[in-house]
Amino acid sequence: MDVDEKYFNNISNRERAIFEGAITMGALFHQFVGTPVNLESVDNLENSIKVAMELQPCIDEVEVKINRKLLEESKSEFDYISLSGEMMNIKVISNYGEKKAILMMEYIEELKYPLMYVKDII
């Protein structure tokens, strides 16, 4: 089966890159929020999120930065916390045909919200 021809011939390459990148953004957030993490494990977690999410279709690169300051400040008596959207900074680069979409997620204080948006399409 030609999946692209059968299921995706109604959207442009640019739209396909946005589509696949956005799926991965939503997936990443809801898969990993809640994971136990602290300053000792944070490098490992960032890397494993990257490795897992780069498997998704049309994904070139995933970068995850977890806010060490927030991690330290919100540390519980038990020396770790549950990962939350507020402390994640994510970049997803997706790509289809000749088009590349750069998507971001960052916590916007004014909105009290981890906003996902398209930074650029090249």
Q: Which residues in this chain contact a second copy in the complex, by CB under 8 A?
A: 1, 3, 7-8, 10-11, 14-15, 18-31, 33-38, 41, 44-45, 47-48, 51-53, 55-57, 74-80, 82, 84-85, 108, 110-113, 115-118, 120-121
Tell me how far, at minimum, the Cβ of 69 lies from a second copy, in Å: 16
Instruction: In angstroms, give the least distance from the CB of 32 to a second copy.
Output: 8
DSSP letter, residue 11: S
In degrees and rounded to multiples of 5, residue 11 shows phi and psi of -130, 155
Joined together, the tokens standing for residue 79 give 């020396």
Q: Which is nearer to a second copy, 82 or 97 (CB)?
A: 82
C-beta of 120: minimal distance to a second copy in Å? Answer: 7
For residues 79 and 70, give the distance between their C-alpha atoms in angstroms, rounded to a whole number. Answer: 13
Residues contacting 110, CB < 8 A, separation 6+: none
Q: How far is the CB of 22 from a second copy (least distance, A)?
A: 4
The DSSP output letter for 9 is: T
**Alpha-helix residue ranges (DSSP H) falling in 1-122:** 3-7, 13-32, 42-53, 68-73
